[in-house]
Structure formats: C-alpha cells, structure tokens
Amino acid sequence: MAFHADSRTGVFCQPECASAPGEAAVTRHFATARDALAAGFRPCRDCAPLLTGIADPAWLLPLMSEVESDPARRWHDHDLDMMGIDPTMVRRWFIANHGLTFHAYTRLRRLGMALRQIQHGEPVSRAVVASGFDSESGFRDAFAQVFGNPPSAVDRESSIWVNRVATPLGSMILGVHDDGLCLLEFAERRMLDTQLGRLSRHMGRVFLPGEHPLMEQTKQELDAYFAGTLRHFDIPVQTPGTAFQEAVWHALREIPYGETRSYAEIAAATGRADAVRAVGRANGDNRIAIVIPCHRVVGSDGELVGYGGGLWRKEYLLAMEQAQAFHLT
C-alpha cells in the first residue's frame, strides 16, 4: 500500500481516505507508514492508516455512546436488535475483550455510578433510583456481590475507575483513582488480565467502569502526545511494585523523548548493573504504557525487542518520537 502525505498539514493517509491530499496539495508518497513517520508525518485520525484490520468493530462506538448517554439504562437483547446489532456478536466481543458480557458490563457500569454517588454523600435510596435498580434490596445484594461489602461500608478509596480510550495505535484500557493514573494498556495486550489482577491485589481495590476527572486529563495529554505537541506527561501516576520495579520505572521516565536506552543502561541507572534480566522483567511489568515509556528500551545492539503492546507499536512510537524530536530541534 502507498501512503499519501500532505506537506502543508504534516498528515499521511490511506489513498482512499476522504482527508487524503488532493491534486492541488503538496503531496508526497511513501511505500510504508514507517517511511512517512520517519519523514516527520503523523497518521490521519480519520482513516487510521496504521490500524488496518485491528480497529474496533464499527458498531462499538455508537453502542457505547448510547450507554454513556444514559448510564442508568437497563439493556436487553431487543435493544441491540433495534440498533441493528446482533446480540450474540456483542456478547462474544465483550467476553473476548473485557472478560464479561455486555449486559454484565452495563450492570457493573450502573453499580459503579451508584458507588460514586454514595462516596460523595448521596443516600443509598437515591443511588438505587439513579442507577436504574428496581428495589433497594436488589441493589444491596448486587452491590455486596461485586464489592464484598454493603453500600454503607464502601469508602472512596475502594475502587479503580476504568474506561477505554481511542488512540492512533488502537484502543487502550485506562485506569485511575483519586491519587493518579495506575493503568494504561493496549486493549488486546497479552497478559492484560494478569496485570489487572496484580494491580487489584497490590492496591486492594476493585475495578469499575466509569468516568473520573483524571481520565479526561490523560486523554488530552495522549492526544497532544500523538499530535507531536507534548513530550512530557504531567498526569500523576501510581506505580505500586517492589522497590526495584519502582526504581526501574523511575529510570524509564528519565529517558529523554526521542532517545533510547539499553537494558544494561537502565540497570546501571538503578545502581544494579548486574540486574539486566531483572530490568527486562520490570520493564515488562510496567502497567502504564507510553506515559512510563518502556518502549524506549532497546537491546544492546539497538534491536527492538520485547514490547507487550507488540513490536510494531514500539517501532511506531520510536519513529514518531525521533521524527518529532528532529523536527522540533
């Protein structure tokens, strides 16, 4: 596939994209996306030229928009039928991507909304009505089944709020609590369930779908990063782990934008030059992709090795950063 790039906007597109440069534009052509990135162009948000074959299904965005427009709504299969969406297809997709059915997801979404209301001082009776439950007893039973405690015993510190965020490299799972960002992983990453379990145990919290002010800040900073206008993330992060893991993750954040470091150099930065393999494991255990830039760690010969989000994403991120760093210097 050839990619078309507009020198005026700095964007490259698939040829069939409606936003692709016309004949009057100052157009350049590239055989690969890497070549376009290396030349300083960024991917078009409309056609997502890097996402052929891996984008979310077309029905997902309108469905989730409907869910978020009325989070208290109780969904049934006939509601999906009315939208022209096959309930079986939705069920299979949610199980594959979230580990639970769509109906379980929306139920958990309603419980999460109720939890936030209770944490902010709303009476349980009001939270029951606002979250779409028929009775207070049914709500209390469902609440206790998920959180292990009745509503009156749950405090503000008990949850991690999670949601999906779209990026030019595909959907990511975003997790925050009041103290900061604690999760940012590509949705189809292998071992994601394992990482979620470890994080939940480390922090003693449960995951709930929902919104939080820090999510919007994270999304804005990610947008600026992919647009090439942000080099350093300001979002506060929470990285529970061993002392060595935290030392490695701190060293990762010290790698300048547009540069790379070897595993041996990161080991030396932690004061344990002989712990190269342990650095590799800690790098792989990083739960906050991009913001804690584990993609900037390469082999001693500069080879791209080991990235949970896929080596093609690592290649993209490094090429984008290096092109932007060269362009802005």
Q: Which active-site residues does the annotation give?
A: 294
Enter the tokens of residue 291: 């913001």
Q: Cα(14)–Cα(288) distance, rounded to whole angstroms?
A: 30
**Residue 298, both tokens:** 């390469």
Spatial distance between the Cα atoms of 146 and 290, rounded to a whole number of angstroms: 31
In three state form, how does the secondary structure of 10-61 look?
CEEECCCCCCCCCCCCCEEEECCHHHHHHCCCEECCCCCCCCCCCCCCCCHH
How far is the first Cα of the chain from the last one, in angstroms, to the nearest whole number? 31
The pair of three-digit structure tokens given for residue 239, joined into one six-digit string: 């990285």
Distances (CA, A) of 240 to 155, 183, 191, 198, 201: 20, 11, 18, 10, 10
Give the closest residue to 127 by CA, choosing from 142, 119, 117: 117
Q: At what angle do helices 136-147 and 102-119 cross, to 10 degrees?
A: 100
Q: How many residues would you count in the chain?
A: 329
From the CA atom positions of the chain, what is the Rg in Å? 22
CA–CA gap between residue 114 and residue 128 (Å, rounded): 7
